[in-house]
Amino acid sequence: MLSVNVQLQRGDFTLDARFDAPTPGVTALFGRSGCGKTSLINVIAGLTADGAGKVCLDDECWLDTPADIRRRAEQRHVGYVFQDARLFPHYSVRGNLEYGARRVKGTVTAGLFDDVVALLGLSALLARRPGGLSGGEKQRVALGRALLSQPRLLLLDEPLSSLDAARREEVLPYLERLRDHFAIPMVYVSHQFDEILRLATHVVVMDAGRVTATGELGSVSRSSALQAIVGADAMGAVIDGRVTSVDAASGLAEVAIGQGLLRVPAGSLSPGQDLRVQLLARDLILAVTEPHGLSVRNQLRGVVRGIASSGGNDLVEVECAGVTLLSRVTGAATRELELTIGTPVWVLVKAVSVSGLAH
Amino acid sequence: MGNLTDFMNLGEAEISALKLSLAVAARSVAMSLVPAICIAWLLTRRRFPGRTLFDAMVHLPLVLPPVVVGYLLLLLLGTRGPLGGFLDRHFGVQLVFTTLGAAIATAVMSFPLMVRSMRIALENVDRGLEDAARTLGAGPWDRFVTVTLPLMMPGVLAGAVTAFAAGLGEFGAVITFVSNIPGETRTLPLALYTALQTPDGNATAARLAMLSLGLGLAGLLIAEVLARGLRRWLGR
């Protein structure tokens, strides 16, 4: 477990963040620009000279000010992928990759170099200088360099934010591969929720230097702390499911979520595949009586578990088939349907509104 | 045409002065390079009490009349001076009237120039790269040698060549500290000065002046070419 409890003062800005994150796994630090995400991971990495509190990975503490422990950054074995790659311009790509690998104390995993080079597709770049690489290539080299230092924890500070959309799509699959291939705990800083949807298992939401929500992606996806940052339109329950069948004739696939089934566009899905879906709250319709004769492909029975009002609209939490969904309805609708906690409802989800992310 | 060969035909004394100038300048650069890098590092990277005063002291030779610097060196390093006496008694090293003494006077005079180039070089090094090296397990000395110093190299070389070129022509501090001894301390500018004091020395003085001009120009050009080449090597 990565356990963080950190305080840092920078002029008017106060960072006071605490969270525990399971390891291995990808923990996303999510928040607006300037909310203290980078400051926080710099404290975790030891790049910030001050900063009080505790940073412990499993039974090893890198920072523990009450016990007067402040391990130097170079002794923490933390891999850090910076926003701007920060490759050494005077070394070749190979030299950059080997820089950290050479400084690993103790056993060096045999074959790791070839493994990382193959995984990140770097073999054609090895002899080149970083100056001539594209942004996406630079970030892949930076990832490889960090991995080859055999870190106990990998910190990624918005590694995709300096790339355009096409380059992001080019690098994201590499990040997914690396997550699945190595059991290195990762902390992924981002202000793009779609990256978090693709990569994270655990989310820490930050706002103005504080942690406002923390937990598994599914539960954080329904939190008001998240809504404060992404806005009501982008809110939606995130659910991990598995494709059970694909019907080529109807063009629909069935995805098991909890004990229920969700029909989604088949696309390129194949049976047995893990799929993460986000059901946007604004796309979900609630009915208090069983509806008939609708085009909607998904009609799930559930019970209202919570109602949160904001700005004339209500965000209704509905538990169906073992998962919790979010639906956004107007306050007027809530009153008319007499929705309260415990009301049985039908949740209607258009198949085409569901976008799945291979996971 | 005959006049030109005649003109450029350097006498033995002039060649000796040229060689001596090169030797003095080379030694002065050799002895001030490492201290200049250290002091530049201290001044750019460390905050300590008395830093401003220290900075001013380093820059003093730039504003003091060279004669004053030579005189202070004489007081400090002369055979009766506290440091010079110590060196003489314990190591038999005499600096006054020697080439080594001339190199020291030159080094002191060009030191601010050197520190200035090193500071600019150091300020141009992206500290983010040093942080990256830290996370990859490099300790302070390791980082300096593998990241900071190579990235400083264009500035270091430019500073060294400029100091070398300036050192070829140091006059006031040298003549005050180590006097004007042929073959020992009579460098180009001192030889030029001597020629001007001699009847019929005008042609010699002109030749030496041309030589100094050529050397200075060559030095500055070499510094620029080296810096460019290094920057390319660094991929910038």
Q: Is A344 helix (H, G, I), strand (E, B) or coil?
A: strand
Q: Do A74 and B135 touch (CB under 8 A)?
A: yes
In our burial notation (b when 16+ CB lie closer than 10 A, e otherwise), range A10-24 reads: eeeeebebebebebe
Q: Is B47 on the interface with A (CB under 8 A)?
A: no
> Which residues have CB under 8 Å from B181's CB, separation 6+?
B97
CB of A79 within 8 Å of a chain B CB? The answer is: yes
Backbone angles phi, psi at A215, to 5 degrees: 155, -170
Distance from CA of A19 to the nearest CA of B (A): 22
Say yes or no for a CB contact (<8 Å) between B234 and A90. Answer: yes
Predicted confidence (pLDDT) at residue B6 exceeds the cutoff of 70: no
Contact A187, A2 (CB under 8 A): yes
pLDDT digits (tens, 9 = 90+) for B172-214: 999 999 999 888 899 999 999 999 998 888 888 998 999 888 8
3-state helix, strand, coil in chain B (%, to 5): 80, 0, 20
Distance between CA atoms of residues B193 and A128, nearest Å: 55
- Between A79, A105, A130, which is nearest B135 by CB? A79
B152 vs chain A: nearest CA distance in angstroms? 11
- Please tell me the predicted confidence (pLDDT) of residue B7: 57
Quick one: which of A82, A87, A88, A96 has its CA closest to A148? A96
CA distance to partner chain A, nearest, from residue B151 (Å): 7
Percent of chain B at pLDDT above 70? 95
Residue A93 with chain B: CB contacts under 8 Å = none
CB B159 within 8 A of CB B142: no
Cβ pair B235:A90 closer than 8 A: yes
Mutate to test the interface with B, among A41, A83, A90 (most CBs of B within 10 A): A90
User: Which of A82, A88, A129 has its CB closest to that of B147?
Assistant: A88
Closest residue of A to B126, CA-based? A86
Cβ contact B132–A88 (<8 Å): yes
How long a stretch of residues is chain A?
Answer: 359
Are residues B139 and A130, on separate chains, in Cβ contact within 8 Å? no
- What are the pLDDT digits (tens) for B24-33? 999 999 999 9
Q: Pick the closest to residue A72 from B146, B132, B127, B139 (CA basis).
A: B139
A159 upstream amide cis, omega within 30 of 0: no
What is the ipTM metric for this complex? 0.87
Q: Is B46 on the interface with A (CB under 8 A)?
A: no
Q: Which of residues 132-151 of A touch B (CB under 8 A)?
A: 132, 145-146, 149
Residues of A in contact with B134 (CB under 8 A): 46-47, 72-74
What is the structure's pLDDT at A346?
A: 95
Shortest Cα–Cα distance, B131 to chain A (Å): 7
Region B201-229: mean pLDDT is 87
A256 contact B CB<8A: no
Give the tens place of pLDDT for each residue, B91-118: 888 888 899 999 999 999 999 999 999 9
C-beta separation of B110 from B163 below 8 A: yes
The arithmetic mean of pLDDT across residues B55-82, rounded, is 91
pLDDT at position A162, please?
86
Widest CA span in chain A: 70
pLDDT at A266: 86
Q: Does A129 touch chain B (CB under 8 A)?
A: yes
Secondary structure E strands in A109-159: 153-157
Contact of A215 with A199, CB cutoff 8 Å: no
pLDDT at A86: 95
Residue B54 has pLDDT above 80, yes or no: yes
Instruction: Look at B138 and A77 and tell me if their CB atoms are within 8 Å.
Output: no
- A149–B137 C-beta distance less than 8 A: yes
Residue from B124, B127, B129, B135 to probe the interface with A (highest A Cβ count within 10 Å): B135
Neighboring chain A residues of B233 at a CB cutoff of 8 Å: 90
Res B2: pLDDT: 47
Beta bridge partners of A202: A27, A216
Q: Which strands, in side-by-side order, build the sheet including A252-257? A: A260-265, A252-257, A236-247, A274-280, A355-358
User: Which site among B136, B144, B145, B230 would you substitute to test the A interface, given the most A Cβ atoms closer than 10 Å to its Cβ?
Assistant: B136
**A100 burial level (CB within 10 Å; 0-12, 13-18, 19+):** buried
Taking the Cβ of residue B131 and every Cβ of chain A, the question of whether any pair is shorter than 8 Å is answered with: yes
- Tokens representing A68 are 């007067």
Query: Which one has a higher pLDDT value, A317 or B169?
Result: A317
The predicted pLDDT at position B225 comes to 87
- Residues in chain A with CB shorter than 8 Å from the CB of B146 are 99
Mean pLDDT, chain B, whole residue set: 89
Q: Work out the minimum CA distance from B172 to partner chain A, whole angstroms.
A: 42
Element (H, E) at A6: strand A2-10
Q: Where are the alpha helices (DSSP H) in B124-201?
A: 127-135, 140-143, 149-167, 172-178, 188-197
One digit per residue, the tens of pLDDT, for chain A of length 359 reads 999 999 999 889 999 999 999 988 999 999 998 899 999 999 999 999 888 999 999 989 999 999 999 999 999 999 999 999 999 999 999 999 999 888 887 767 778 899 899 999 999 999 999 988 999 999 999 999 999 999 999 999 999 988 888 888 888 888 988 888 888 999 999 988 889 998 999 999 999 999 999 999 999 999 989 999 998 888 999 999 999 999 988 888 999 998 889 998 888 888 998 899 999 999 999 999 999 888 888 999 999 999 998 878 999 999 998 899 999 999 999 999 999 999 999 999 988 778 767 65
Instruction: Decide if A90 touches B, using CB distance below 8 A.
Output: yes
